[in-house]
Chains A and B, each alone.
With several copies, the nearest count.
Chain A
């Protein structure tokens, strides 16, 4: 990978950016440098009417030149508008306001459930994570985009030890029965690949492998039986336009240098 003209984090930002449609509203929480870069990039390329909300700061469309580390930084308030946090919570609960909710976790399972709470039993955790924050709202967002910077079998697991951010729960029957306003997880972006979910089984499915990554590598590093279609394309590399936008947004490499 030494010859690449872009970093893995930048490629992940491109995958997310391409997923965002013009006119949509997206939201993200803590440690969201890649999603924030992706949203700004989408605005600068194909989605000028995209709105995005930088989590706890309540900022709507941070101008982010340059990108910053913290989702609650006051630099985010150089923005089109800003809402008080309790109002952001109302938006998240509404059910029809947010098209895309960026989520993630210490563990992500095959149905797209996320866990930010603990590894092992909640009562005697092997590792205590930070907590659920706003992930319980996932079932009320139009689509969930899950991302992680660690694609391995400890992160991508058969079943989360604690469900703090519901995906398709225990599968299609249980999910359908709930009649939720959201459509559940739509995309998973990792350093190795992009994944979506099988329409019927609601199980995670390989969508594209990043340049230089093999399907076998992905399968090996995934802790559950991933659905692998016959033909798996390679994730298109960042275009010049995309890279130009990204580097204007993130000149110092806040996102780029992550992975």
Chain B
């Protein structure tokens, strides 16, 4: 008997593993790095509705594009922005016009919440002082208080986060779903550990990953992964740590395109809905992508 491979195309993976109205979808990557854009574009092509979008502590185009495409009913996030390039246009508009419900939280909420979700922990209590901001006032459903049984103090808590599906970019994976991050892991591995279903996109499929890097580097175990999608340049226009940097010009073009419904529709048509994912790299251009590639590996 042979082992069952989990390799499939972005289309197959999203079609098979993401419901038409996904209860909660976690998207990996942080700021303009490691965003699983190949899978996110496929979510848009297939028009999958997202009841709740869950982001890493700092989301970027991964969240903004889904919001712009009108697929997100509510978002649990601590930050959506484009770092030095400015605010996130679709996120900002959707919040200001109330076309999307916002479950506002902070960075530790996401980290603690995923940790609790991954570990079956009922909640995580905050360190003292983290209740001094205004978040719990506007999100009392998620931020609750209980008693510290060791001191008797009242402490704020973070609720567990258990995404129904997580989309995560790993630099390399084997056909069975074992995978690794070449640079920073951000909260991606926590998403993998907390989610019911995990789809990994990878720059490269490497049959003998553990022999190449040592098993301790391969810290996403295949049994947590439902599907593996080979997606070279699949983070574009964001970076893939150790492979290529982000495409600043494209991100600026995106932000500009978000200014009017017409220009955003044209962006979507040109880069997402008008082509299958396999044609995306060609649309960006091989030379341009190669120019983004790292000179050497950063580690």
Residues on A lying within 8 angstroms of B by beta carbon are 22-23, 25, 30-31, 33, 45-49, 51, 53, 56-60, 69-75, 77-87, 89-95, 97, 116-117, 122-125, 127-137, 139-140, 162-166, 169, 178-182
Could you show 16 A-B contacts with beta carbons less than 8 Å apart?
Answer: A30-B58, A51-B223, A57-B184, A77-B216, A80-B222, A81-B178, A81-B210, A83-B219, A84-B184, A84-B189, A91-B193, A93-B121, A125-B96, A133-B78, A163-B132, A166-B132
**CB atoms of B246 and A30 under 8 A apart:** no
Per-residue CB contact flags for chain B residues 188-217 toward chain A (1 = under 8 Å, else 0) read 011001000000000000000010001110
**CB atoms of A85 and B92 under 8 A apart:** no
Residues on B lying within 8 angstroms of A by beta carbon are 1-4, 30-33, 57-58, 77-81, 83-84, 87-88, 91-92, 95-96, 98, 104-108, 111-112, 115, 118-121, 126-130, 132-135, 138, 174, 176, 178, 182-187, 189-190, 193, 210, 214-216, 218-224, 239, 241-242, 245-246, 294, 298-299
Option from A22, A72, A139 in Cβ contact (under 8 Å) with B31: A72
Q: How far is the CA of A215 from the CA of B115 in the complex (A)?
A: 48
**CB atoms of B106 and A79 under 8 A apart:** no
**CB atoms of A162 and B134 under 8 A apart:** yes
- Shortest CB–CB separation between residue A107 and chain B, in angstroms? 12
- Shortest CB–CB separation between residue B109 and chain A, in angstroms? 9
Asked if A56 meets B239 with Cβ closer than 8 Å, knowing A70-B33, A74-B184, A84-B219, the reply is: no
The 7 closest A-B CB pairs, nearest first, are A130-B81, A139-B129, A90-B119, A131-B79, A93-B120, A74-B241, A74-B183
**CB atoms of A81 and B190 under 8 A apart:** no
Q: Which residue of B lies closest to A126 (CB)?
A: B96
**CB atoms of B241 and A77 under 8 A apart:** yes
Which chain B residues lie closer than 8 Å to A182 at the CB level?
A: 129
**CB atoms of B184 and A85 under 8 A apart:** yes
Option from A25, A73, A85, A179 in Cβ contact (under 8 Å) with B187: A85
Q: How far is the CA of A75 from the CA of B107 in the complex (A)?
A: 23
**CB atoms of B132 and A178 under 8 A apart:** yes
Which chain A residues lie closer than 8 Å to B31 at the CB level?
A: 30, 56, 70-72
- Shortest CB–CB separation between residue B7 and chain A, in angstroms? 14
Asked if A136 meets B133 with Cβ closer than 8 Å, knowing A30-B58, A56-B186, A72-B58, the reply is: yes
- Shortest CB–CB separation between residue A58 and chain B, in angstroms? 6
**CB atoms of A78 and B79 under 8 A apart:** no
- Shortest CB–CB separation between residue B4 and chain A, in angstroms? 5
Q: Which residue of B lies closest to A53 (CB)?
A: B221
**CB atoms of B118 and A60 under 8 A apart:** no
Option from A75, A127, A169 in Cβ contact (under 8 Å) with B132: A169
**CB atoms of A132 and B107 under 8 A apart:** yes
**CB atoms of A140 and B127 under 8 A apart:** yes
Interface centre among A49, A122, A132, A135 (most CB of B within 10 A): A132
**CB atoms of A81 and B221 under 8 A apart:** yes
Q: How far is the CA of A67 from the CA of B130 in the complex (A)?
A: 31
Q: How far is the CA of A92 from the CA of B127 in the complex (A)?
A: 10
**CB atoms of A130 and B130 under 8 A apart:** no
Q: Which residue of A lies closest to B186 (CB)?
A: A85
**CB atoms of B130 and A136 under 8 A apart:** yes
**CB atoms of A181 and B84 under 8 A apart:** no
Which chain B residues lie closer than 8 Å to A162 at the CB level?
A: 134
Option from B32, B33, B79, B182 in Cβ contact (under 8 Å) with A132: B79
- Shortest CB–CB separation between residue A249 and chain B, in angstroms? 16
Q: Which residue of A lies closest to B129 (CB)?
A: A139
**CB atoms of A82 and B216 under 8 A apart:** yes
Excluding A72-B33, A82-B219, 5 further A-B contacts by CB distance (< 8 Å) are: A48-B2, A59-B184, A77-B215, A128-B87, A128-B91
- Shortest CB–CB separation between residue A71 and chain B, in angstroms? 7
Asked if A178 meets B187 with Cβ closer than 8 Å, knowing A30-B81, A86-B111, A89-B111, the reply is: no
**CB atoms of B83 and A71 under 8 A apart:** yes
Q: Which residue of B lies closest to A54 (CB)?
A: B184
Q: How far is the CA of A147 from the CA of B190 in the complex (A)?
A: 31
Q: Which residue of A lies closest to B82 (CB)?
A: A130
Interface centre among B57, B95, B132 (most CB of A within 10 A): B132
Which chain B residues lie closer than 8 Å to A139 at the CB level?
A: 129-130, 132
